[in-house]
A and B are shown apart, each in its own frame.
Chain A
């Protein structure tokens, strides 16, 4: 099996980190473990959705968290019980104030709204290239932020939107994570996916054989927005109290880190990236509260975890620019091959 990195030491370090993480989770108790577990699933949905666009089209969007916000707010408003709506959102339009939906329909409606917005925004944006797309999508993020922070009647403006029902369970979060991974995997290996990656690698050549590059990008943008919004809905019903600030640069960099560190364009890479960032940030969060190592007592240095996380990101980019898994899913393919061989002569030929 082809391993993505040479050197047994790196694997020892990774194993040790995972062990520390497992120890933390076990010591953390069942509620904490469940929160980590759900958080992983939601991050996988968000990372795969972003990977679908950033990895396959070659355009780097910085605004996807805007779709996460749309999905979160739309689904939260729809699932809010009528009494809470009356007290928290007294100025809601009459037709909306009477509606209360269960989680799945609300999440789907939120995702549809986000997809519509993506289609609207995408038509002009998908004609751009390179850094212009990044800046333009960042502009979209800022616009979403401003709209959410000022639309007092719908979103309570910049104040915390609290009282959201805790409807995200490990089951539905992981079902969506599996759906996200499966969808992106099928798209990557479909003719649509291949042709998109071809346009990414050489736009002019792809256009010369008749590929509708802009149209494909728009479709990818919309699909990615749909999935991101579902991730947003899951997140909203997990955290249960958020504000427009929760969907701004901090969250953007968090998701981008997971995708880039894992490997842009690699499906397994997004999962690995999510694991990497989650494990590291939980360990760092624990350590920044101060710890003792035998006779040596280290005092708490609050804020250190974010600094160290940023340093680690820089190091990963410097020493492994394509991310941990690179662009390929060779790990996945050769795993499949190995499994096929083990199962006997009927093993698939990948």
Chain B
């Protein structure tokens, strides 16, 4: 055994030492942090792929400011300690000029303060909490809409188009994202005149929802629709159990539903589901930008983009590079100024504009309907009124 261990260790040492001295000054380094393993992987994996694709396209077109861009990417493992270490490494060792990543609010909070302390911008591709910029002032931008926007869009469609006058709300109390989403939906829905019949909770990772289903069915008056605020890992299980339990009403949700796991796990139960997300990744029904992206993604990864988060990763890299180009410099402060003045930048997930002083872009919401496992666009517009963060 010892005879194998020694050469193995020597190999490891050689690998480390040989790759350590790499990194010329001739590329612009952008830090990329995604959870490629763990509970967030179904959202972050496609995002990371989208980001890599964008970098490849940009470099093929000559890069920016005469240099190629280099994505320095680490796996956050859906764990706060790993994320913190990776962020510190990106700032100190890799000396990135900007950072991007994550589709979840809690994950962003593990990394963004470290970047902010060093004066480096963090642009999150998929974390949608409108409270985020308040927690990391000046150095945190979103490339996606806020939860208040998507919840309002869902509420307006549910009450307006679907004419659902009463609702049941189920919220995952283990994530900041789901708590906020549920809160904003309730606010907008009741403002429109809807009535919440029952509000219930569960914990992230719960495998059995029979208690919640029983409580719902015990209600004297069945609600017209359900709003289930869930993350990507649990949504399939929840939908399956509710449908199997005899709950037939339409189910509404947020972009946490935008994962292949929904149809995979829920199977036949993936019917009459509506969720808001950043765009519809459909080669036939999507926008022109989406179609082009889907074709490029397919060519690169031999598979269609799994969800809108792939498009978000792609758009975020393009957003940062666009800011670098307009700033004509890689100085983090200049990048920040340029980012703040981004206006009508076209993207796969919609066009990005930042109003002065607001790090959350105004973007339209795609409302997707799932019927017998097939996704289609039910509506695409911005909500009329949005709850305050």
Contacts and interface: CB of A to CB of B under 8 A. Distances in A.
Interface in A12-32: 12-13, 16-17, 19-20, 23-24, 27-32
22 contacts: A9-B6, A10-B2, A13-B5, A13-B9, A13-B10, A17-B12, A27-B21, A30-B92, A157-B174, A158-B174, A159-B173, A160-B80, A162-B106, A163-B113, A239-B81, A240-B113, A241-B80, A242-B80, A243-B80, A285-B85, A287-B15, A300-B75
A149 B19 contact: no
Closest 5 CB pairs of A and B: A29-B92, A31-B92, A158-B174, A29-B93, A160-B106
A37 B35 CA distance: 25
A24 B92 contact: no
A283 B16 contact: yes
A28 B89 contact: yes
A22 B15 CA distance: 14
Interface string A138-181: 00000000000100100001111011000000000000000000
Interface in A283-330: 283, 285-289, 291-294, 298, 300, 302-303, 315, 319
Given A13-B9, A28-B92, A32-B92, A239 B19 contact: no
Contacts of A239: 80-81, 84, 110
A186 interface: no
B80 A23 contact: no
B84 A240 contact: yes
Contacts of B81: 239, 242, 246
Q: Which range contains the number of B residues in contact with the other chain?
A: 35 or more
Most chain B beta-carbon neighbours within 10 Å: one of A9, A160, A239: A160
A128 to B, nearest CB: 30
Interface string B2-26: 1001100111111111111100000
A285 B21 CA distance: 17
Interface in B156-185: 173-176, 179
Contacts of A16: 9-10, 13
Contacts of A246: 79-81
Contacts of B222: none
A292 B15 CA distance: 7
A9 B6 CA distance: 7
Nearest to A284: B12
A23 B106 contact: no
A236 to B, nearest CB: 11
A20 B109 contact: no
A162 B109 contact: yes
Contacts of B89: 28-29, 31-32
Interface in A202-248: 239-243, 246
B298 interface: no
B1 interface: yes
A163 B134 CA distance: 12
A7 interface: yes
A341 interface: no
Given A16-B9, A158-B204, A163-B135, A291 B91 contact: no
Given A246-B80, A246-B81, A162 B110 contact: yes
B13 A17 contact: yes
B203 A149 contact: yes
B6 A20 contact: no
Nearest to B109: A162
B329 interface: no
